[in-house]
Structure 1
Amino acid sequence: MTSDETTRRDFIYVATGMLGVVGVAGLAWPFIDQMRPDAAVRAAGQPVEIDVSSVEPGSAIIVTWRGKPYFVRRLTDAEITAASGVTVDQMKDPQPADQRIGGPADEAKKDWVVVAANCTHLGCIPKVVDSGADGWHCPCHGSVFDFTGRILHGPAPINLPQPPHVFASDTNLIIGTDTAGA
């Protein structure tokens, strides 16, 4: 045996092994590729722009961002007064009402609340109740949230979370964008 034959044989072994690796990768790629999220799922994480010009004071809409529902509510003066009148000892997760109420840059239009529409207890969707400071009641286990989404009583442990959001104009709300960047 000469050293030339050994070199040729080594080359054939390596080439055959590489061809096998490329073949296995070619067969495995469709299975790996099908695990990627489709375009609709990738787009769901993008910010959502909502025209809120038709939302009257005292009414709310439900929007979906990242596959989850969110309440966008325009508060009346009476609702803001009722929410501001709730004392810290009445709340399970204390937070001032003015930290949860926002709106366009115009100070007179700070009457919007954007909160998750899922109860923080078991994920039910609370229903709107128009009485005093009680804004939302969870129909499953009785959690009560005020108009700003703060938990007043019931089994829910924390306030309704607020998504990152900003008002691009007086009528356009963008959910899913960092408010610090605006």
Structure 2
Amino acid sequence: MLSAAARGLGRVSRTSSSPFRAFSSVGSNFGSVDHGFTDDRIDKAADPEKRAFTYFMLGGARFMYASTARVLLIKFVSSMSASADVLAMASAEFELGAIDPGTTVTVKWRGKPIFIRNRTEDEIAEAKAVGMGELRDQETDEVRVQKDNWLVVLGICTHLGCVPISGAGDYNGWFCPCHGSHYDVSGRIRKGPAPLNLEVPPYKFTAEDKILIG
């Protein structure tokens, strides 16, 4: 049997080499030894004047940002609104009394030529007699006019945007000399490369001999 001293020595040895004791000793140093957080931080409570200045600068910056955003928004909305001269060009009124039967006048609307033709009875009958099978862009004459004797069309060829000649071509309507498109007295494409009829702009009669285009 071991003596009491030996047993005591064994207990001391086992205690000093215990892994739990070693872990406890090392673990006590896991915390950071860098005191930068404590040394370098700004203690706002210690300097009320600096805190007030910081709040003032932040508030001023936010005010300037909001003001700039407001100005930009106002300018953007203003740019989307039509100016007075643009609104004036949006519609135009024209007198029809001076246009003789069988003749065409050219007026300008929004910078584009508009053909206004006072058609004769023969021209009206000719336009209505055309069958749909003869037309590339099939439209009856009735859907293109509000009054039989008045035809109002945009004077731009639907091929490449040239301006056709009135009272010319194989159908006595309009002829585009640029590429040889022929339109009839209803402004419908009958021959040549143009794919569509002459466009009918929005218009209405404000009096018996007066129209408002636009």
TM-score range for the pair, normalised by the shorter chain length: 0.7 to 0.9
Change (3 A) 1:73 1:28: same
1:124 CA displacement: 0.5
Higher relative CO (CA 8 A, sep ≥ 6), structure 1 or 2?
A: 1
Deviation at 1:134, TM superposition (A): 3.2
Indicate the residue corresponding to 2:146 in structure 1: 102
Match of 1:2 in 2: 45
Match of residue 48, structure 1, among 92, 97, 109: 92
Report the TM-score, using the length of structure 1 for normalisation: 0.77
The gaps in structure 2 that reach 5 residues or longer are 1-43
One-letter amino acid matched to 1:93? D
Cα deviation per residue 1:61-120 (whole Å; 9 max; x = unaligned)?
Answer: 1222222221111101121122223222221111111222333xxxxxx30001110001
Per the alignment, do residues 86 and 134 of structure 1 end up closer, same or farther by CA in structure 2, a change over 3 Å counting?
Answer: farther
In 2, the alpha carbon distance for the partners of 1:144 and 1:123 equals 14
CA RMSD of aligned residues (A): 3.0
Q: 1:157 is matched by which residue type in structure 2?
A: P
> How many Å separate the matches in 1 of 2:184 and 2:194?
13
More helix by share: 2
8 Å CA contact 2:170–2:182 kept in 1: the answer is: no
Partner of 2:162: 124
Q: Is the 8 A contact 1:82 1:132 kept in 2?
A: no
Alignment of 1:66-81 (within 5 A): 66-81=110-125
**Unmatched runs of 5 consecutive residues or more in structure 1:** 104-109, 177-182
Residue identity opposite 1:165 in structure 2:
Y
**Which residue does the alignment assign to 2:128?**
84
Q: Residues 56-71 of structure 1: matches in 2 within 5 Å?
A: 56-71=100-115
Q: Summarize deviations over 1:18-57 as a string: whole Å, max 9, x none.
A: 464378569979x869966653233222x21111111111
Identity %: 33
Q: TM-score, normalised by structure 2?
A: 0.67
Q: Which protein is bigger by CA-based radius of gyration?
A: 2
Matches within 5 A, 1:144-155: 144-155=182-193
Between the aligned partners of 2:92 and 2:58, the Cα distance in structure 1 is 53
